[in-house]
Amino acid sequence: MRTTPRSTTQDTEAAPRARWRRLAARSRSGEDPSLRAAYRACRLTTRQHDPGMYALVQLMPPALRPAGWALWAAANVLDDLADQDGAEPAERAARVEAWTKALRRDVAAGSGSDPVRRALVDTALRWGLDLSGLYGAMAGTRDDVRGRRFADWAEWRAWCDEGVVPWVDQVGHLFERAGAPMAPRFDRRGDYEHFISGAQLTDTLTDLGSDLAQGLLLLPREALDAWPGAEDDLRRGRWSPAAAALVGATTDLARTWVARPGLTRGMHPGAANLLDTAARLLRAQLDAVDAAGASLLDRTPRPSLAARARILAPARVRARLAWSLTPRAVPAPRRPAADASGPRPAVAADTVLRPPPPHSGGARPPRIAADRMPRHVAIVMDGNGRWAQQRGLPRSEGHRAGSVAAHEMVYGALEIGLRHLTLYAFSTENWKRDTGEITAILEGVRRDLDAGRIRDLDVRQRWSGRPGRLPEELVQAFAHEERRTRARTGLTLTVCLDYGGRDEITRAAAALARAAQAGDVVPDLVDEEVFARHLPHPDMPDVDLLWRTGGEQRTSNFLPWQATYAELYFTPGPWPDVDRRDLWQAVAEYGRRRRRHGAAVPLASPRKPPTAPSAPL
């Protein structure tokens, strides 16, 4: 987000703030001069490289500012390594990779071997940040040095989501730790990501001239093709009507992305002030891009000093007022994750991924031919209550036993190389049960997350469900796991908790309506693909196999959008009685089904029988 104007900001806190600043300075450095110097270096780097961001960090509470400098200094150092003039792309990529590797080592050791990493690791340890959420973005920066091409805006935005959102998320976590939540409500996540894309697009427009000088034009083909000749003209340094129209339309698009009025609803006023100010600065920057005309190709446009002052001066007053309501000191540093006590580590060490534990009876996974392998298996884990009642036990014991079976599914899925597993753990209708049972189910889920039995497996974990009703700390625990595991590539495990298919579709419709209102979507062009992009997990593939245990033959509001063409599979036994062999059996049954998706039955070549398992199921 190197988009905002060069700042004249200085730290000008009045008397009551001075006490916090002294306290912040003392505790953040721990009286360690080299650490103090490391933070000072980050402050300077942020200020020199990214004055707009520096001005925004100054709107954070004093206790958080050093962390803000450390994060943005790190982002800038990586950008610089990736952009270094005169170095070959391979060499630049190797430098980014080496820096990232060194950071992983430093995170594990709990200290840093260069000033920026030192400050960043210290920040993570003090504030309980999980830096592993940044590794995917760093890998993206490494790959970017070879040049990026985007087919359309969706691809362009996916690039922002991977490369920029994780950095901004870290700032969100900082605010959360400081007791001043900046994270958007779950149903506003789309707006938040649009906002960040808008900031990135503003950045791209601002740097258009310097990027073109390096042969880069970071706009998607979809936009370039809409203005024939514009790309050629820009690359030749010609400010033609087509080039001006392309830039004008892109500037308008960035404006709609950064204007997300509901984004800050429910946030702490200090956090909301920060985001609102960022939006105003971005708009001023876009005005400067508009006003630049042909000169955009020769120099970097900036809003006037007066325009910046009009935005920043009142923002500083609001920040002082807002943060005076929530004083916060810098916490003392903690030990790195490997030594930390407690259920969830403050900083994930560079986890070594392990294979799943073997089946207790020694069962080996079957070999499944690729064309018989479902991509996505979804399971209605039913029958816990009856299982317990049949044994004279309380229903909560059934749910406890059910959690063992759920882990078995994850192990079994990894062993056969399944890519997506979605488990239905609690429906929007399950609130009709008595409070004791609901509490037992939700506490069980929380216990499982804390126990971390799948923590070191190659599993990307996430939650799907209705925002707002689950206990906040459970939602946060899921969010934490999601961040920690987002770069994993093995199995994607989606746990549906307070999930309802109709609710999901309704929320997608609301998101679509908001997008149409904001001008991002043309109602007449809405098709299934556009609709699906507004689902809470747009990347979730269609369900190939939907399995329900417990003998009922219904889907109970589970994944209606994604499972329209799923093969249905019902088994009579209750959920706690299944283990991974039952999953393999279900997949084998899927391999025998003939899927037609509405096409006519083919006449010839019945499929070969499935490959025999390497050991009996």
Contact positions vs Mg ion (CB under 5 A) = 382
Is 554 labeled as ligand-binding?
A: yes
Q: Going by C-beta distance under 8 Å and a sequence separation of 6 or more, which residues neighbour residue 539?
A: none
Return d(Cα 420, Cα 490) in angstroms, integer.
Answer: 9
Identify what 386 binds: Mg ion, ligand IPE, none; CB under 5 to 8 Å per kind: ligand IPE
Say what the alpha-carbon torsion angle 236, 242, 246, 248 is, to the nearest 10 degrees: 110
382 scored as a contact of ligand IPE (CB under 6 A): yes
The pairing of beta strand 491-499 with beta strand 420-427: parallel
Is 595 labeled as ligand-binding?
A: no
Closest CA to 497 of 564, 425, 578, 393: 425
Task: For 419, list phi and psi in degrees, rounded to 5.
Answer: -95, -35
Nearer to ligand IPE, 270 or 385 (CB): 385
Which amino acid is residue 170, in one-letter code? Q
Candidate list 106, 382, 544, 582, residue with the active-site label: 382
88 scored as a contact of ligand IPE (CB under 6 A): no
Binding to ligand IPE in span 535-554, by CB under 6 A:
550, 552, 554
Identify what 273 binds: ligand IPE, Mg ion, none; CB under 5 to 8 Å per kind: none
Identify what 88 binds: ligand IPE, Mg ion, none; CB under 5 to 8 Å per kind: none
Identify what 380 binds: Mg ion, ligand IPE, none; CB under 5 to 8 Å per kind: ligand IPE
Tell me the three-class secondary structure of 166-225, residue by residue: HHHHHHHHHHHHCCCCCCCCHHHHHHHHHHHHHHHHHHHHHCHHHHHHCCCCCCCHHHHH
The residue from 39, 150, 192, 424 that contacts ligand IPE (CB under 6 A) is 424
556 scored as a contact of ligand IPE (CB under 6 A): yes
Identify what 41 binds: ligand IPE, Mg ion, none; CB under 5 to 8 Å per kind: none
Pair of tokens at residue 539: 């990347």
Q: Going by C-beta distance under 8 Å and a sequence separation of 6 or more, which residues neighbour residue 192?
A: 184, 260, 263
Give the helix/strand (H/E) hosting 307: helix 305-324
Among this protein's residues, is 458 annotated catalytic?
no
Number of residues binding to ligand IPE, judged by CB under 6 A: 18
Q: Nearest distance from residue 400's CB to Mg ion, in Å?
A: 16
Return d(Cα 60, Cα 424) in angstroms, integer.
Answer: 40
Among this protein's residues, is 430 annotated catalytic?
yes
500 scored as a contact of ligand IPE (CB under 6 A): no
Q: Report the helix count and the strand count for the chain, using DSSP H and E.
A: 23, 6
Exposed/middle/buried for 309, CB within 10 Å: 0-12, 13-18, 19+? middle
Is 123 labeled as ligand-binding?
A: no
∠ at Cα 393 (388, 397), nearest 5°? 65
Q: Nearest distance from residue 544's CB to Mg ion, in Å?
A: 23
76 scored as a contact of ligand IPE (CB under 6 A): no
Q: Nearest distance from residue 164's CB to ligand IPE, in Å?
A: 36
Nearer to Mg ion, 233 or 397 (CB): 397
Q: What's 366's DSSP letter? A: B
Q: Nearest distance from residue 382's CB to Mg ion, in Å?
A: 4
Binding to ligand IPE in span 438-497, by CB under 6 A:
441
Identify what 110 binds: Mg ion, ligand IPE, none; CB under 5 to 8 Å per kind: none
Is 395 labeled as ligand-binding?
A: yes
Q: Nearest distance from residue 572's CB to Mg ion, in Å?
A: 13
Is 382 labeled as ligand-binding?
A: yes
- Which residues are annotated binding-site positions for Mg(2+)? 382, 567
Q: Which residues are near ligand IPE by CB under 6 A?
A: 380-386, 424-427, 429-430, 441, 550, 552, 554, 556
Q: Catalytic amino acids? A: 382, 430
